[in-house]
Structures are given as C-alpha cells and as structure tokens.
Amino acid sequence: TKDGIFAFRSVLAHGGVDALINNFGEANLPSIIFATLLIAAIGLSLFVGLEMVLHAIQGQQRLFRICESLSMETESTATSAWSALGILLLGFILFIALVFPGKYVNIENAYRKVDLGLAELDQHHYDKAVNYFSNAVDLWDTSAAGHMFLGVSYYSEDKYEQGTQELEISLKLDPKSTLAHLGRGYSLTRQGRYSESLDEYKYVSTSKPEWGLPHAAMAVSYYLLDEIESAEKEIQIALAYEKDDGQTSAMIADYYAQTLDFKKAEEHVLKALKTSKDGDDYVSLALIYVSQNKFGDASKAIEQARKQGADPIGVYLARVRNAEFQSDLETASTILAEAI
C-alpha cells in the first residue's frame, strides 16, 4: 500500500495520467494497479456525483442505473442531493489535485532530490550532494530539511559561509530544529566564531538536556576561547551522558585531542567506534595514533578508514601526517601529489 500511494503521488507530481505510463520504471506492478484504481475512483466519483445531482434536482427518487447496480437507495430528494454534492465535491477535489497538482509537483520532486542528496552525502560525495539539495530547495524553497542538508554539505566542503547561510534559512523555516542549530554551531566553530557557536549548542542542550553531544561541543568551543573552567564543566556533563552514544564519544575525543591528552582521546574514539564503525572516526583514531608515534597502529586505522568509506580527504591527511611524523618526506610528498 505504501508503494501504491507513492506511485499515486508520483502521478500527481508529474502532471497527470500520462505520467503513469512514463514512470513504469519507478514502481512495481501492484503499485501501478493501485494508482490506476485511485484514478478510476476519481472518475467514478465525478460521474456518479454529477448524475446524482442532476437527478436530485429534477426531483427523481430513483438514482442513475449505476447507483441501482450498487444497491444505492435514497430516502428523500434532499438526502440524495446532499449525498450527491458530497461525492461530487470529493471527486472534484481529487480531480483538481490530479490535473492541477501545482506545488505538489515540486514537493514530490524535491523529496526525491533530498533522498538522492542524502545518499551522496553519506558517501562523502559533497559536490553531488550540494547539487541535489540545491535542486531540492529550488523546487521547494520552504523546505527546512532541504536547506539544512544543503548547509551541511557546504560546510563539509569547507564552504562555511554558504553552509551557515543555508542553515540560517532552515532555522527561519523551522526555528526548533535541534539538528539545524547543531549544524550551524559546527559551521560557526569551523569558522572560528566560537562565541556564536556556543549559543547554538546551548539551545540544543536545553532542548535535549540528557544528550552529551552539545555539551562536548561546548567544551571544545570554550577551550578554544581559553575559558578552561567552563570547558572542564561542560566536558564533565558530556561524560556523564556519554553512555553508548558514538557521536558524543567522538566529540569528547576531539576535545581531548585539542587539549593534547591523546590517551583519553584514543579511549573515547575507540568507544565511538564500538557503536558506529564510522570511517571518519578511524581517521581521527589514525591522527591520534600519529600524535603518539604509534605509526603502525595509525596505518591500520587508515586502512580501516578506507574500508569504512571515510572522507577521502581525511584519509589523505592521515597518510601524509603518518609519513611526515616518521620524517619520510618523500612518501608524504607523493601522497600529497596523489591527493591533489
């Protein structure tokens, strides 16, 4: 039924019954049959409703032959008229939605673009993700999710100003979105706007008080502002709520890496990997190993990062650092040339 409804929405989105023929490749046979039956129901309701109205107006007690075949009986002309008008109105609304889908055309296509963009974002194909999300917001400019994911894609490409701008648009459309607030906080942190990022993390921590991630993010920003006491307070809160949350563990690891406490950083990134197996966390682990001169472990972590589909730029960075810290500048130069 879910697939059938999607097929019917696809018909609405692409402008009429002819879309059913043009989109056979996008739905299975039951879906197409379901959508076709819905379209037939629209036509039937219009046909029956119109006949009922006409006969009720003429004062006839007996309805059109098709109503008789369906064993439809009426108690009075007035009852027939009201029933007829209801059926006719329903058919008319559905017909208008089918023939004149209006914004639904764009909304349906925008949903598809967002889905495609998320798939590319997950694969770290940020340029492709930006393209899909840009198309989505062009089709549906009031999509808070579309603007949010476009912002995330931009700052993942190190285009922080554009990322922040899109996240701000998303927040205007959905001011209570904790993910958009968190994303804007990340983007501001990467721009060195630490005080502003704190406002975003505070909002998220207020909305989700038992989530350690925003507290760990605040700890990083406070530390970079040289407010060590506040940073220590927030990291203790984050640790209390860490539990089995891989994202929180990864952010705690980032905090300890900032403070050059690489043993604790290693401990928490390993906790993150127990729950997530995220390729980018393996990159972080590799960099932490390099900082401790554990070059063999760093090489193994880099290999795992590749297998888990980490951001290729991060993998190249870890490989270059691993070679540099071993004073193997020739290998580092070769990797850098390969990256470029």
**pLDDT, tens only, 58-104:** 554 444 454 555 445 444 555 555 665 666 666 666 655 554 444 55
CA 90 to chain centre: 34
Q: Are residues 327 and 319 in contact, defined by beta-carbon separation less than 8 angstroms?
A: no
Residue predicted with more confidence, 191 or 49: 191
Average pLDDT over residues 140-151: 89
- Dump pLDDT digits (tens) for 318-328: 999 999 998 88
pLDDT confidence band for 17 (50 / 70 / 90) = very low
Greatest mean pLDDT among 51-60, 78-87, 209-218 lies in: 209-218
Distance (Å, whole) CA 6 – CA 9: 5
Average pLDDT over residues 43-48: 66
Please, what is the Cα angle at 71 between 70 and 75, to 5 degrees? 130
* Full-model pTM: 0.67
Which of 159, 212, 217, 149 has its CA nearest to residue 189?
Answer: 217
The structure tokens 């770290």 sit at 124
Q: Are residues 266 and 285 in contact, defined by beta-carbon separation less than 8 angstroms?
A: yes
Residue predicted with more confidence, 1 or 234: 234
Distance (Å, whole) CA 157 – CA 241: 30
User: Which tokens hold the place of 260?
Assistant: 């050059």
Residue 282 Cα distances to 10, 29, 174, 223, angstroms: 41, 44, 34, 24
